[in-house]
């Protein structure tokens, strides 16, 4: 048995949470392998809506193992609020939620360092979610981090040592007034630590490999998107972890040959939150129409998302980096009212048209578009591929021809039920 991986192919917010929830019945275990509470995976199930930040999106399925892997950074405060929200739906998380001992903890001072660092950048800020993600990964790489497994022994001493170093950084490097904010935060953070202790801490790399050896099916759930990857994204406007398929190997402790299918999720258009390049971004009424129709506001931050047409140059790059085997297209219904839909098939750089993602995206990169007719149909009412209008089939066929991959799922609305499995000819 191999581990299947599901991940975003754009700048995040592609709809991974919904699809993981839909696919979960086929798997024995769902695992998060990177990122932290900067993720916001939204699930709409029947009459309720739930946003998950740290917990895997398979949590609403009984008897399914849900694992927070070693590559995740965990904020106890956010975690506590999340479990309290899920408990309202009569879900006992302690039965099937496991946490890696090697997952790193986001400390209150990490969030203060995040805020101080972003403020110090001024106009060059990267649009951080200010969740403490970057400073936590910095401590991890610097071999100074605290992990979930550290809660077992001498934790208070370890905590004091690390936070003292952070306080000195806040004072000396940023001249940041942190004392009241830290005092307000620490009480709630330690309450989160106590809530965390109610769960099973595991050697997750052994757990995942034992599941594989026992012929159990595992789905690895990525957060953010490929174009936010620390190595291959639009640096420096990226997240602090490896959001690509390879991140599942390091974030769970599995060998590359244990990777099976790679499901790549993309929106029928593009969005981005925060700063950074975005070649197909629309600043006009069309962009606002996409934002309003798609309710494009961050599930974690509430920030309006920047919107633009589908970028096939970036999409094909993401497919290559991840070794994608199947594509899932989300939010096709957002394009229901457009007479014409544009798709970027190349970049014009210094007068030359290229179809490869460049080292750096900047203002000199101009999108080259093709135009396709819109379908002018309410897709949210459709229940099968047989009902698709010809223009939608043409749109899907065009993307498949360009990428060389089948689109096997089309989402036509936010609810679990509005997910259509495609049998591509």
Average pLDDT on 364-383 reads 96
- State the Cα–Cα distance between residues 344 and 99, nearest whole angstrom: 41
pLDDT of residue 44: 64
Does residue 425 carry a pLDDT above 60? Answer: no
Contact by Cβ (8 Å): 21, 57 = yes
- Cα atoms found within 13 Å of the Cα of residue 324, Cβ hemisphere only: 27
pLDDT band at 274 (very low <50, low <70, confident <90, very high): confident
pLDDT digits (tens, 9 = 90+) for 9-19: 999 889 887 88
- Mean model confidence pLDDT for the chain: 91
Identify the H or E element spanning 3: strand 3-8
Does residue 98 carry a pLDDT above 60? Answer: yes
The helix/strand/coil state of 150 is helix
Average pLDDT on 121-144 reads 82
Average pLDDT on 314-328 reads 98
Q: Which residues carry out catalysis?
A: 13, 41
Q: What are phi and psi of 159, to 5 degrees?
A: -65, -45
- State the Cα–Cα distance between residues 323 and 244, nearest whole angstrom: 10
- State the Cα–Cα distance between residues 410 and 144, nearest whole angstrom: 44
């Amino acid at each position: 048995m191999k581990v299947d991986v599901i991940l975003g192919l754009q700048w995040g917010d592609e709809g991974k949470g919904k699809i993981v929830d839909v696919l979960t019945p086929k798997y024995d275990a769902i695992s998060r392998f990177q990122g932290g509470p900067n993720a916001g995976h939204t699930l709409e199930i029947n009459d309720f809506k739930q946003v998950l930040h740290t917990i895997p999106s398979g949590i609403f399925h009984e008897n399914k193992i849900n694992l927070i892997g070693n590559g995740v950074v965990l904020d106890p405060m956010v975690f506590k609020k999340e479990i309290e929200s899920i408990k309202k739906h009569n879900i006992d998380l302690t039965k099937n939620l496991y946490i890696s001992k090697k997952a790193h903890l986001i400390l209150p001072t990490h969030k203060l360092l995040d805020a101080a660092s972003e403020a110090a950048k001024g106009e060059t800020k990267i649009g951080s979610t200010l969740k403490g993600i970057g400073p936590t990964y910095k401590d991890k790489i610097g071999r100074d981090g605290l992990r979930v497994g550290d809660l077992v022994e001498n934790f208070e001493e370890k905590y004091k040592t690390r936070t003292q170093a952070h306080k000195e950084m806040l004072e000396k490097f940023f001249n940041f007034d942190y004392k009241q904010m830290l005092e307000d935060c620490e009480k709630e953070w330690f309450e989160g630590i106590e809530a965390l202790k109610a769960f099973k801490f595991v050697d997750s790399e052994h757990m995942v490999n034992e599941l594989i050896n026992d012929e159990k099916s595992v789905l690895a759930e990525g957060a953010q998107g490929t174009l936010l990857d620390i190595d291959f994204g639009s640096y420096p406007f990226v997240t602090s972890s490896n959001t690509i398929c390879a991140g599942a190997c390091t974030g769970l402790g599995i060998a590359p040959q244990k990777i099976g299918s790679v499901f790549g999720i993309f929106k029928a258009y593009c969005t981005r939150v925060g700063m950074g390049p975005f070649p197909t971004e629309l600043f006009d009424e069309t962009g606002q129409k996409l934002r309003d129709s798609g309710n494009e506001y961050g599930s974690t931050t509430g920030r309006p998302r920047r919107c633009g047409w589908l970028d096939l140059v970036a999409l094909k790059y993401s497919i290559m980096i991840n070794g994608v085997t199947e594509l899932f297209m989300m939010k096709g219904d957002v394009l229901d009212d457009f007479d014409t839909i544009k798709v970027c098939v190349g970049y014009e750089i210094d007068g030359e048209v290229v179809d490869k993602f460049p080292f750096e995206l900047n203002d000199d990169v101009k999108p080259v578009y093709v135009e396709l007719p819109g379908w002018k149909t309410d897709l949210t009412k459709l229940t099968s591929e047989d009902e698709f209008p010809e223009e939608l089939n043409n749109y899907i066929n065009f993307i498949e021809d360009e990428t060389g991959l089948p689109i096997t799922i089309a989402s036509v609305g936010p609810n679990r039920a509005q997910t259509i499995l495609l049998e591509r000819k």
